[in-house]
Amino acid sequence: MQLSGSTEVFVMHFGEMGSRWGFNRTVGQMLALIVIHPEPLNADQIATMLGISRGNVSMGLKELSAWRLITSYKQQGDRKEYFKAAGSIWDLARTVFEERARREMAPTLSLLRSQLLETPGDDAQAHAHEKMAELHDLLEMLAEWSNSISSLNQEQLQRLMKMGTGVGKVLEFKGRLW
């Protein structure tokens, strides 16, 4: 099994982007391959198509499962496990967004809450306390927004996103008037 030219370019690029989204290059490539392949793939097929070790594939599949981005199942008459994307592109994007919030925003909010319980001892600490409170409030607002976004279906989310581009245009237009 070989990747076609455009498919290979996409898979390799997705690997590079994956490293910016919270998982390593190989895991990003594996996710791209699983998402765009028309049939579920087993670990041996993934290793062959990407030219990586079976052990690396195994670790990557565990990570993708932990991110809730793939599902696995067995095909009748075959002992191998097969993997496919855990939903549509929109579902995957929502899951990455939720996981990043859980892995990054939640621990930061927890730390900020504990730090804000302490009374500042001097002006420098009071200033730091004030900035931490601002960051806490921003992250709390983002967390609430994220939770409300997660409950929207794909059509509602698309409408909301289109409204956002319209709001930007309105603000840009009003900025010219005032």
Query: Structural domain boundaries of the chain?
Result: 5-85, 89-153
pLDDT in tens, 21-62: 778 999 999 999 999 999 999 999 999 999 999 999 999 999
Give which of 167, 163, 140, 139 is closest to 152, Cα–Cα. 163
3-state helix, strand, coil split of the chain in percent (to 5) is 75, 5, 20
| 40 in Cβ contact with 82 (< 8 Å) | yes
pLDDT in tens, 60-79: 999 999 999 999 999 888 99
Distant-in-sequence, close-in-space partners of 160: CB < 8 Å, separation ≥ 6: 149, 152
SS3 40: coil
> Domain spanning 5-85 has what CATH number?
1.10.10.10
Evaluate the CA torsion angle 102, 105, 109, 115 in order and state its sign.
Answer: positive
